[in-house]
A = this chain, B = another copy of it.
Amino acid sequence: MILTQADFLKNLKYDEHGLIAAVVQDITNNQVLMVGYMNKEAVAKTLKGPFVTFYSRSRQKMWVKGESSGHTQEVCEIYYDCDADCLLIKAKQNVAACHVGYRSCFYRKYDFVSQLVSIVGEKLFEEEKVYSKK
Binding site for B on A (CB under 8 A): 1-5, 7-8, 21, 23, 25, 29-32, 34-35, 47, 49, 75, 77-83, 86, 88, 98-100, 102, 105-110, 112, 115-120
- Other A-B contacts than A4-B115, A5-B116, A79-B109, 17 sampled, CB-CB below 8 A, are A2-B117, A4-B117, A5-B110, A5-B117, A7-B117, A8-B110, A29-B30, A30-B32, A34-B81, A35-B81, A77-B109, A79-B108, A81-B106, A82-B99, A82-B107, A86-B105, A86-B106
Number of copies: 2
Q: How far does the alpha carbon of A75 sit from the alpha carbon of B112 in the complex, in Å? A: 10
Could you list 5 examples of A-B contacts with CB < 8 Å? A8-B110, A30-B31, A35-B35, A78-B109, A80-B106
**A115 and B30 form a contact (CB under 8 A):** no
CB distance from A128 to the nearest CB of B (A): 15
**B80 and A108 form a contact (CB under 8 A):** yes
**A23 and B32 form a contact (CB under 8 A):** yes
Pick the contact of A110 from B47, B99, B102 — CB < 8 Å? Answer: B47
**A106 and B118 form a contact (CB under 8 A):** no
Pick the contact of A119 from B1, B32, B98 — CB < 8 Å? Answer: B1
